[in-house]
Structure 1
Amino acid sequence: MPEDADVLSVTQLTREIRDVLEGHIGSVWVEGEISNHRLQSSGHQYFTLKDAGAQLSCVMFRGAAARTSVRIQDGALMQVYGEISVYEPRGQYQMVVKQVQAKGKGTLQERFEALKRRLHAEGLFDPQHKRAVPRFPRVVALVTSPTGAAIQDMLNILTRRAPWVRVLVFPVRVQGQGAELEIVRALRVMGAAEDFGLPVPDTIVVGRGGGSLEDLWCFNEEVLARAIAECPIPVISAVGHEIDFTIADFVADLRAPTPSAAAELLAPDSAELQRYFDGIARMLSTRVTTVLEHQQQVLELTAKGALRHAPERLIQQAEQGIDDHESRLREAVREQIRTWADDLSQKQQVLAAHHPRVQLTEAVHRAETCAHRLQQGLLHRLDRLADRLQSRAELLRHIGPDAVLARGFSYTTNAEGKVLKDATEVQAGEEVVTRLAKGAVRSVVKG
């Protein structure tokens, strides 16, 4: 037997474990996928960091959370930095997170988003494919775990609010590998209930209570989504809590936030129905009484009226009324015919004015007019240009070199034809040419 001094209390052992973890591991970076994240009113954040082989409980206290700008959410792949410690009241080791940085999305979340996009593109989520859930079902099938709290909640609500509803329970697993295949088989059996000797349900509820993304994953499998879409009976998806969304929710004909809410949708309160039917009965009774009283008054008036004492006069009045209506009808028909004739005449005039021959004649006339104007304008323009040309030519003759030479002037060039402006531009013995009004004189420079 050990001595009392060798026996540790739970608290002592837990503290020694904490000292070992904190002393030998200390602060580390860890990478994993976020799940079960929750934000407390105190500002502290709690979540689980997991991978394919293990999971680690984490806490980020308010001060560290206020310093980070990264949003922590389920399904995100994160790298966290902190110290490994032990939460003594539960004897649970955990990481006290001081820093967080995003790494990407977790594998499960990526699969969820990819399948959601693909099924949406195929049209499985389209509202026109949704079938109406009956307001007053007679047979309801519950496809869920027979041992969970969800089945008890739904049965209690259905039996209390709508005891006339017949409930079929198809027990299946709602978590773990292969659970989606059990749910698919249940949907196919319920869809062909007559073949199995079962009453045909008016609607099927597929659901379970809340859980993590991993716990609810069977409701995100493609095979289950397609089975819900192919089921001939309206399907209600009631998976998890109100904040949980699965692929089954998008494919189902109706999504209920919780299993209890699904049962309440299917089972209107019997007391409320009784009040509704009582009101309908009172309304029908009042209506029938009113109709009977009206018919009684009609009978009494008929017994006292002319139909009993002078039926011939009533027939004559009716015949006279028919004659009046006939006359008014003939006049109305004639008036309508006159209106149509006037309208037809106006439309014929409009049509004649827009006949292609008329349009073509007007177009030809406009073209001829434009051509004449163009020709006149062109001739006028040519006359003006000719006058201007003659005036410029006359001016050129008056100020040109020929006019200057005619007044007795001349100009001299060297042998190459360059006009000489300065006597120094030539040398003695060079030949020069002097241009006169008539002819030219060649000279040799002597000095």
Structure 2
Amino acid sequence: MIQPQVISVSDLTKMIKQQLEQPMFSYLAVEGEISNFKHHTSGHMYFTLKDERSRIKAVMFRSRNAGLNFKPKDGDTVIVVGSIGVYEPNGEYQIYLEQMLPQGVGALHIKFEELKKRLAEEGLFAQERKKPLPYLPRRIGIITSPTGAAVRDCISVIRRRYPSMDILIIPAIVQGDEGPRSITAALEIAAAQNLDIIILTRGGGSIEELWSFNDESVARAIAACPIPVISGVGHETDFTIADFAADLRAPTPSAAAEIAVPDYEQLVDAVEQLTSRLSSGLKKLINEKRQAVEYLTHRRVFLQPEERINREHQKLDELSAKISTLISHRLSMTKQNFVNLADKLDSLSPLAVLGRGYAVCQKLDQSLVTDPRQVAVGEQVMVKLRTGQIRCLVEKGESHDG
């Protein structure tokens, strides 16, 4: 029989802990009833989560439970979201909570988180898909209930900030089963209008009342809309899927209107300031240019322009004289060089040799005779002299060798 390896209780607990740290035990949503609830003075919450067959200890630290919008108590049925872990000193496994929601709200919240995660992974909320808002829109579209407080708040803010702004109200059902279909249809209508910005809005309410804005079809319609969309749904603490899909989220309907249009009075003040700065800048520039012109007109070159011209004429005359002198000198040197070269050429010319009494003897075929043996007695030859030539008959030839 194989003997099992002996380990300590601590080692066993660590092994169990390692197994429970696997992904399958992370971010679980569990429904159960609270019992033995204790809100410790440290701010941490400790209780048991149970159903009719089992129970598990639960811990929600102060940093996590600070945002709860209800007070848990024994007997409450809740949905908790968290991860399984082991408390090693007691060797107990328990669930460490990230979120806790009442039963009805909890189911919707989980559905909300699942859709939000899926659309985010798809890239529907990516920042690079967001369209920039125009600084000065000409026409605003508002999609909301025509009878709710949100539309009145938006119109009031827009009229206060920019009285002449053109506003188009596009009615939609913003609550109940018909809400998603009505909102997507309104977005399609708005996309076909000549709008610069769309405000998608409604007043506050419970998560159930705002659920139309957590519909996937609404999120996709917002993302596909060619016109920038501002979402202003509920109160500041309310978040919907539409907020993440929109190009910009505003915490309230009034804030959405504030963001959509600039303040007319501020624009007027800004234009007046810019006009004043431009006027001052132009006056300063004109004065600077006028002073520059006055300075130039009082310079001697402008008061007596002929003086400058005369000086330049004088320089031109001096340059002309120098050029003439240089040309004459250069011609004289060139002429002298030519004479010297001519003398050298003349001294080397055969005519000069002939002029000293020498002669050149050639046969009748123009070949040069340099040896008496090149001709025969009785042969005619031509003798070239300096000023002409004579034809001679050879009577005798004598050679002087050596």
In 2, are the aligned partners of 1:138 and 1:164 still within 8 Å (CA)?
A: no
Q: Which structure has more helix as a fraction of its residues?
A: 1
Mapped partners of 2:297, 2:269: distance in 1:
42
Instruction: After superposing the two structures, state which structure 1 stretch, 241-250 or 109-118, moved more.
Output: 109-118
1:166 aligns with 2:160: no
Q: Give the secondary-structure state (helix, strand or coil) at the position aligned to 2:143.
A: strand
**Contact (CA 8 Å) 1:239, 1:259: kept in 2 or not?**
yes
Is 1:185 equivalent to 2:185 in the alignment?
Answer: yes
Equivalence for 2:206: 212
Structure 1: 5+ residue stretches without partners = 1-30, 35-59, 72-95, 194-199, 317-447
* Structure 1 counterpart of 2:146: 146
1:283 aligned partner: 277
Supply the distance in 1 between the matched residues of 2:217 and 2:32 (Cα, whole angstroms): 25
Contact map agreement 2:32 2:79 (CA 8 A) in 1: no
Match of 1:253 among 247, 253, 256: 247
CA distance in 1, matches of 2:215, 2:183: 11
Instruction: Name the counterpart of 1:335.
Output: none
Identity %: 41
Q: Secondary structure at the match of 1:243?
A: coil
SS of alignment partner, residue 288 of structure 2: helix
Residue 163 of structure 2: SS of its match in structure 1?
coil
1:302/1:178 Cα in 2 relative to 1: closer, same or farther (>3 Å)? same
Name the counterpart of 1:299: 293
Retained in 2: the 8 A contact 1:225–1:248?
yes
Counterpart CA distance in 2 for 1:126 and 1:261 is 23
Q: Conserved in 1, the CA contact under 8 Å of 2:161 and 2:263? A: yes
Distance 1:285 1:238 in 2: 42
Mapped to 1, the partners of 2:244 and 2:159 lie a distance apart of 28
Deviation of the 1:225 alpha carbon: 0.7
Q: CA deviation at 1:102?
A: 4.4
Q: Which amino acid aligns with 1:224?
A: V
Mapping of residues 39-58 of structure 1, within 5 Å:
none
Partner Cα separation in structure 1 for residue 190 and residue 225 of structure 2: 9
Q: What is the letter of the counterpart of residue 267 of structure 2?
A: L
Distance (Å, rounded) in 1 between the aligned partners of 2:238 and 2:293: 67
Superposition pairs for residues 95-114 of structure 1, below 5 Å? 98-100=74-76, 102-104=78-80, 106-114=106-114
| Partner Cα separation in structure 2 for residue 308 and residue 100 of structure 1 | 103
RMSD: 3.8
- Counterparts of 1:364-403 in structure 2 under 5 Å? none
Q: How does 1:269-418 map to 2 (within 5 A)?
A: 269-305=263-299, 306=301, 309-310=304-305
Computing the radius of gyration from Cα coordinates, the structure with the larger value is 2
Letter matched to residue 168 of structure 1: L
Please give the alpha-carbon distance, in whole angstroms, between the structure 1 residues aligned to 2:164 and 2:142: 16
Query: Retained in 1: the 8 A contact 2:172–2:182?
Result: yes
The question of whether the paired residues in 2 share the 8 Å contact of 1:145 and 1:174 is answered with: yes
Aligned to 2:225: 231
Cα distance, 1:272 vs. partner? 2.3
Match of 2:232, SS? strand
C-alpha distance after superposition, 1:227-260 (max 9, x if no partner): 1111110000101111111111111100000000
Tell me whether 1:203 sits opposite 2:203 in the alignment: no
Paired with 1:135 and 1:242, the residues of 2 have a C-alpha distance of 24
Q: 1:302/1:226 Cα in 2 relative to 1: closer, same or farther (>3 Å)? A: same
How many Å separate the matches in 2 of 1:295 and 1:285?
A: 15
Q: Which amino acid aligns with 1:124?
A: L
Cα distance in 2 for residues equivalent to 1:114 and 1:129: 21
1:178 is displaced (CA, Å) by 2.0
Q: Secondary structure at the match of 1:215?
A: coil
Unaligned runs of 5+ in 2: 1-29, 49-71, 82-105, 313-402
- Report Cα offsets for 1:330-384 as digits up to 9, x if no partner: xxxxxxxxxxxxxxxxxxxxxxxxxxxxxxxxxxxxxxxxxxxxxxxxxxxxxxx
1:269-298 alpha-carbon deviations (Å, 9 max, x no partner): 333222222211211110110111112122
Give the Cα separation in 2 of the matches to 1:307 and 1:115: 83
CA contact (8 A) 1:70 1:100 kept: no
How far apart in 1 are the matches of 2:126 and 2:258? 25
How many residues were matched structurally?
236
Shift of 1:98: 4.1
SS across alignment from 2:135: coil
How many Å separate the matches in 2 of 1:69 and 1:304?
94
Give CA deviations for 1:163-194 in whole Å, capped at 9, x if unaligned.
1210000011100002111111111111112x
Match of 1:241 among 232, 235, 251: 235
